[in-house]
Amino acid sequence: MAKGQGFGFGLGKMKELTEAFKKAQQVQQGAKELQEQLEQMEIEGTSDDGLVKVVMSGNQEPLRVEISPDALGQGAEALAASVTTAMKSAYDTSTATMRERMEELTSGLNLPGM
């Protein structure tokens, strides 16, 4: 190793490394806050006819299902289909919300795969 070269990178690289660590700490704190926010969210999904509503947290935890009395008269098969549609709707909205929030959190970091 030549004299004065340290570990092969100069002060510019050290500054970049320090900045990267700062950003990583910010993202970690932001991710913790985001997790807490997602846990508190209530995201709704409804069936096509609006007779069934499923509510999930932002972390896809099922919170409740609301079924209109009118839906009960449709029969078990139709009711099952309505519940499934409402669940998919809530799940899709929840995952899209999580993805958007993570993109906001990591914007400008140039992370591979994000």
Q: What is the reported pTM?
A: 0.68
What residue spans define the domains of the chain?
14-106
**For the segment 58-73, what is each residue's pLDDT rounded down to a tens digit?**
888 999 999 999 998 9
Q: Which residues pair with residue 64 across a beta bridge? A: 55
- The structure tokens 């299902």 sit at 65
Bridge partners for 24 per DSSP: none
Alpha carbon of residue 55 to chain centroid? 16
Q: What's the CATH number of domain 14-106, 3.30.1310.10, 3.40.50.880, 1.10.8.420, 3.40.50.2300?
A: 3.30.1310.10
The total of other beta-carbon atoms located within 10 Å of residue 58's CB is 21
pLDDT tens digits, 24-71: 787 788 888 888 888 899 999 999 999 999 999 988 899 999 999 999
Question: How many other C-beta atoms are found inside a 10 Å radius of the C-beta of residue 34?
Answer: 17
Q: Are 53 and 6 in contact (CB under 8 A)?
A: no
